[in-house]
Structure 1
Amino acid sequence: MSNYKDQIVRVLEKATGIKNSEVDFASDSQFGDYSSNICLRNKDLDPQKIANEINGKDLQFSAKVVGKFINFWLKKDILINNLIQIDEGKEDYGKGDSLKGKKIMFEFAHPNTHKAFHIGHLRNITTGETLSRLHEAIGAKVIRANYQGDVGLHIAKAIYGIEIEGFEDLKDIKKRAEYLGKVYAKGATAYEEDEEAKKRVGEINLKIYDKSDSDINKIYEETRKWSLDYFDEIYKRVYTKFNRFYFESECAESGKLIALESLKNGILEKSDGAVIFKGSKYGLHDRVFISGKGVPTYEGKDLGLAKLQFSEYDPDLLVHTVGPEQTEYFKVIIKALEFILPETKGREIHIPYGWVKLKEGKMSSRTGNVILGEDILDQAKEKILESYKINSEIAEKIAVGAVKYSFLKTGLAQEIAFDLKESISLEGNSGPYLQYTVARCNSVIQKTTYKVRNPKGLRVPNLQDLPELTGKELSVLRKLSQFQEIITIAAKSYSPNILCEYLYSLASKYNTFYTKHKIIGSENESFRVLLTQGTGQVLKNGLKLLGIEAPERM
């Protein structure tokens, strides 16, 4: 599949001698497909002379000058040939190989056992899964990893809450999760308000680490499994499957040993009985890797985690998808790892994402101040079933798509004010709007009497037999030609919102065309059906990259 932008850059280099000139998508299809400001940046260049030279060659595009800008228009036969490529590629259309041979680990989700899977986790897993799919689409081998906190004070607080409330041997996965949320809240409150409770939580925490109390260990193992089973149900619901689950419990001891070895060789230092990394030497802050009590901290465990990840998978790049509050933390960890495990240098990055909050008064929560990820999905599904005459299976796909898209359409660094009503709307920039457009395309194709296929593949009318294409038809055609480049840009910039913007623009252009033009029974039915088929396929492929299923009908 052609990358037209790269071709234009090469042609401009031959015409001007300037390498890597800036070429962008045109701001509007009426200005063509691509635009370059090369003459604005290099005032001695004559844009018309360059355009004339380009137009004198047999290329896939033509050039026109507007002021100091040179705009580029893909030729009509190239645009229509793209429809053939869409049909031939089907679900593979849009994929590339620019990262072929690269191995990338995306580490995301990160829910802690014995605690709620909240709305922030839902944005995290949605982001991590989409980044994984985008990088797979441009050729990378992707490993999905999930690092979960299954030891620490939060576990001890939950088990102390069980000591207060009494253990309930529940069978229903959802009720187990609710129970764990309740006992964690009890234990956490007691820990803050009662010194005796605080002391007991500390005792429980140590016993979990050294497994010295069989009763506590039994409750811990049972309730840990409850949490993991519950998380598995959510992973299935949002179409994510991990290659490797890492746990703090498996990284603690090895991390401590690595930290002690690093203390011997001077990378880490002693300070008030603790083992620390002096990040202040590098313009960062200092972090504790082993506490004064000899317990590995999060930082210490991260050493064990990195050792495991690189020894097991040896990724070219490890991407940590973690909240913005961890930004300074990761700067220190990544710097420390450069000295402690030199093989990781230049191969780890942190991609933060903004917080999620609710628009005031829009949703209720079973837990008061913590909005559960499952509640978001359930309430979206409930509202969809109330609003539209569809079955539960389709409502589930729309609900998951609505919530995911509402997260992904916003830049990763931005905070989100989640609006349930807006997210499930069939109008505007929403997941259901895109899903509905796919269903509309399917409906058109089902109604046509024109045979889209023959044994040799697509029956594309000869160009000379086509009536003059309208502006609305050309607008959709031009948008379709951008798909592969958009995927590459969205992947390499870690910006799923770029793909969302593209899909919304494509759907809007198609729906405008659909409203203004008769398709079935028109003089140009064959072409318009092909255009509809191409639009539906690209939207479906794009939604799949976002981790969203498109129902055949709505």
Structure 2
Amino acid sequence: MPVAETIRQALARSLDEAGIKISAEEVLLARPKELSHGDYATGVALQYAKQVGMPPVKLAEKIVAGLGELNGVKSVEVVAPGFINFRLTPDAINTVLGEASANEEAWGKNNSQKGSRVMVEYTDPNPFKEFHIGHLMSNAIGESISRLVEYSGAEVKRANYQGDVGPHVAKAIWNMRENEIAQGMFIHTIGSTATSYVLGAARYEENPEVKKEIDEINRKIYTKEDPAINRLYDIGRKQSLEHFEGIYKTLDTKFDHSFFESETAPFGKKVVEEHPEIFEKSDGAIVYKGDEKKGLHTRVFINSKGLPTYEAKELGLAKIKYEIYPYDKSIVITGNEVNEYFRVLLDAMSKVYPELASKTVHISHGMMRLTTGKMSSHTGDVITGESLIEELKERATARAKESRADDADKLAEQIAVSAVKYQILRQASGKDIIFDRERALSLEGDSGPYLQYAHARAHAVVEKANSQGVTLKIFGNSEPNDVSRLVTRFSEVVLYATNELEPHLLVNYLIGLAGAFNSWYAQVHILDGTKEAPHKVAIVNAVRATLKNGLCLLGISAPEKM
């Protein structure tokens, strides 16, 4: 039985003797932030002191007195104002350390979601527009959450939902057509198509006649009645999707399903029209009147031109997803600018498809900003995802060429991607990010490359030990250091991050582990020829496995040489 479960059961029994009846599962047991406070801690005495009419410290002392001997626990202490701290035995810690060192592939995995079917939708760039750095946020968060959920035993399907119809497409096609009129045999490229959107969007706002033309193009995109428009549409869509696939490859993302608004729009419109008891007509449009008591606004689902809006398309998407893959949970990751739209959508879905609404989890992220502020693809003030990665790659190239890596170009790209992903994942999903290029590439701490370098350092030590014939070995009675104690927390951190759907919890743990390891590495001679060397190498190997698996869960590569 895991030591944590032993402690929980003992606490539940002791609490029962004190007149507090709770199950072992209800006992709150946590890992203290400070290692000096022990390996586990609980505040149950603070939680229930008022219920039994005792001061928290006195109740804590009574609980401890009733615990008896606990297998794997070295000591228990009461700390004001009523916390109970547990320190584990060397053997208990070293046993887990041995599991990390010997069973790398399974290290950190759990079966908390075994048998569950989960679809995660993320990234969602729009054809005819740039893949901007905001899409990097959705991709980094979605890929990490997908990996965490998979690591917990669930079957995960990755989905990408792309807006291949809508006003933005019409604006791009209008300018693509203008280019052909002005220049004859105009060769459309991915760059010119994205630029066409920016120019078309500007003309749409400036010129009423152009606005009418673009609105008509938008209608024809849905009806597919105009061969000339269909041709331009096919060119732009194909170029965009091929371009996006190259970016996904760089980011190490492979989608199982791709959904498009051109597919969800007609179905979503049909669903809305079939439920007049839920959606009602208003000024030529069809709307959903949000419940003001819930703070929901009225939203248009089909506009006055008869075209489905974002909300109607999303409603149709939920059903289309489920028909393709009957999920137990659908996780949808978007920017926080659509939070209010999504609240209304989920409320409407709860009436149309109540079962699907109950299975849907919406996670929103903040915006990524540079020193110039928020980007706008509408005005062309955009830093594209690939340009940011390429810039960081160029900055990392010199360092990569001086490394031990066999492929300096590949390493430079791995460093660039890790720099971006780490800065996105290092904080809770809903917060905005001010992206700092220098900090992102730093090897001094709190960066993706810093974690990669710590892993490469650990790998080099193990590689050197192997070359010297030093066989790693765990000594059960060896007094654990802070590094060993941190390694044992990995599985619990993975489970916690998965349950909360918050990768930053894992990031915080990994940066702490890397810092502790680097500090220890600087203070001790690992391959010193003493009888302790095999145990020290085993600690390093456990760190290596933990960093490797942890980086993988963040969607970041773990180079062996840097």
TM-score, normalised by the number of residues in structure 1:
0.92
Of 434, 444, 447, the residue aligned with 2:461 is: 444
Partner of 2:148: 134
Partner of 1:24: 30
Q: 1:385 to 1:279 in 2, by over 3 A?
A: same
Structure 1 residue 15: Cα displacement? 1.1
Structure 1 residue 282: Cα displacement? 5.3
Partner of 1:429: 446
Is 1:485 the counterpart of 2:492 in the alignment? yes
Higher alpha-carbon deviation: 87-96 or 118-127: 87-96
Partner of 2:187: 169
1:421 partner amino acid: E
Partner of 1:173: none
Structure 1 residue 228: Cα displacement? 0.3
Matched residue of 1:296: which SS? coil
Is 1:306 the counterpart of 2:318 in the alignment? yes
Partner of 1:373: 385
Of 333, 340, 343, the residue aligned with 2:345 is: 333
Of 256, 263, 269, the residue aligned with 1:243 is: 256
CA distance in 2: counterparts of 1:259 and 1:100, whole angstroms: 36
- Taking the TM superposition and a 5 Å limit, the aligned residue runs for 1:19-418 are 19=22, 20-43=26-49, 44=54, 45-60=58-73, 62-67=75-80, 68-166=82-180, 168-169=186-187, 176-263=189-276, 266-280=277-291, 283=294, 284-360=296-372, 369-388=381-400, 389-390=402-403, 391-418=408-435
Provide the identity percentage.
39
Spell out, residue by residue over 1:80-101, the C-alpha distance to the aligned partner (whole angstroms, 9 max, x if none). Answer: 1112211332132100001111
Paired residues of 2:14 and 2:66 also in contact (CA < 8 A):
yes
CA RMSD in angstroms, aligned pairs only: 2.1
Paired residues of 2:132 and 2:385 also in contact (CA < 8 A):
yes
Q: 1:382 to 1:333 in 2, by over 3 A?
A: same
Spell out, residue by residue over 1:93-120, the C-alpha distance to the aligned partner (whole angstroms, 9 max, x if none). Answer: 1000011111111111111100010010
Matched residue of 1:319: which SS? strand
Q: 1:46 to 1:340 in 2, by over 3 A?
A: closer
Partner of 1:539: 547
1:532 partner amino acid: V
Q: 1:461 to 1:4 in 2, by over 3 A?
A: closer
Spell out, residue by residue over 1:53-93, the C-alpha distance to the aligned partner (whole angstroms, 9 max, x if none). Answer: 43524345542222322101121111111122113321321
Is 1:503 the counterpart of 2:510 in the alignment? yes
Q: 1:92 to 1:223 in 2, by over 3 A?
A: same
Structure 1 residue 14: Cα displacement? 1.0
Structure 1 residue 373: Cα displacement? 0.6
Any stretches of 5+ residues in structure 2 without a counterpart? none
CA distance in 1: counterparts of 2:342 and 2:74, whole angstroms: 46
1:250 partner amino acid: E
Structure 1 residue 450: Cα displacement? 5.8
Of 514, 517, 521, the residue aligned with 2:524 is: 517
CA distance in 1: counterparts of 2:133 and 2:255, whole angstroms: 20
Paired residues of 2:3 and 2:72 also in contact (CA < 8 A):
no
Spell out, residue by residue over 1:199-218, the C-alpha distance to the aligned partner (whole angstroms, 9 max, x if none). Answer: 11111111111111111101
Structure 1 residue 303: Cα displacement? 2.3
Spell out, residue by residue over 1:151-199, the C-alpha distance to the aligned partner (whole angstroms, 9 max, x if none). Answer: 01100100111122236435xxxxx322112111111111111111111
Structure 1 residue 433: Cα displacement? 0.5
Structure 1 residue 436: Cα displacement? 0.4
Q: 1:219 to 1:538 in 2, by over 3 A?
A: same
TM-score, normalised by the number of residues in structure 2:
0.91
CA distance in 1: counterparts of 2:317 and 2:493, whole angstroms: 34
Paired residues of 2:198 and 2:380 also in contact (CA < 8 A):
no
Q: 1:81 to 1:58 in 2, by over 3 A?
A: closer
Query: How many correspondences in the alignment?
Result: 533
CA distance in 1: counterparts of 2:437 and 2:300, whole angstroms: 41
Partner of 2:10: 11
Matched residue of 2:104: which SS? helix
Paired residues of 1:355 and 1:414 also in contact (CA < 8 A):
yes
Q: 1:410 to 1:262 in 2, by over 3 A?
A: same
Higher alpha-carbon deviation: 45-54 or 12-21: 45-54
CA distance in 2: counterparts of 1:192 and 1:168, whole angstroms: 25
Matched residue of 1:245: which SS? strand
Spell out, residue by residue over 1:7-42, the C-alpha distance to the aligned partner (whole angstroms, 9 max, x if none). Answer: 422221111124323222112112211111222233
Structure 1 residue 522: Cα displacement? 4.7
